[in-house]
Amino acid sequence: MTWHTVASLKEVPLGESLRVTVDGEPVALFNLNGTIHATHNRCTHGKASLADGYVDGDCVECPLHEGVFHIPTGKAMSGPVSVALRVYPVKVDDDGYIHVDDAPAD
């Protein structure tokens, strides 16, 4: 595992998202009820930024074509999306910094 420090918790308030880069890849961070999740930032259907999408519960709606993804798993929930997002392991250290592994989670 290669952990990359990408942000602090202060930069991702509850219910919000943040676009970051991990080893050259666009990644979206989501703060769901105090737990940080990381997915690939680009929608699998179009070239929209999911960090700019609408978060509802534990899902994000793509701002371009309104496809919905389950944030914790990356699963495509409704069309037009059908391909899941990559999700990444995340850890938050005692100082409040968010670290993302550059290898997608299994």
Domain 3-101, CATH among 3.40.640.10, 3.30.530.20, 2.102.10.10, 2.60.40.10: 2.102.10.10
* pLDDT tens-digit map of 13-65: 999 999 999 999 999 999 999 999 999 999 999 889 999 999 999 999 999 99
User: Residue with structure tokens 């997002």?
Assistant: 85
What integer pLDDT is reported at residue 106 of this predicted model? Answer: 62
Rounded to two decimals, the pTM is 0.94
Closest CA to 19 of 60, 58, 66: 60
What integer pLDDT is reported at residue 1 of this predicted model? Answer: 76
Closest CA to 41 of 31, 32, 33, 30: 30
Kindly list the domain boundaries of the chain, sorted by start residue.
3-101
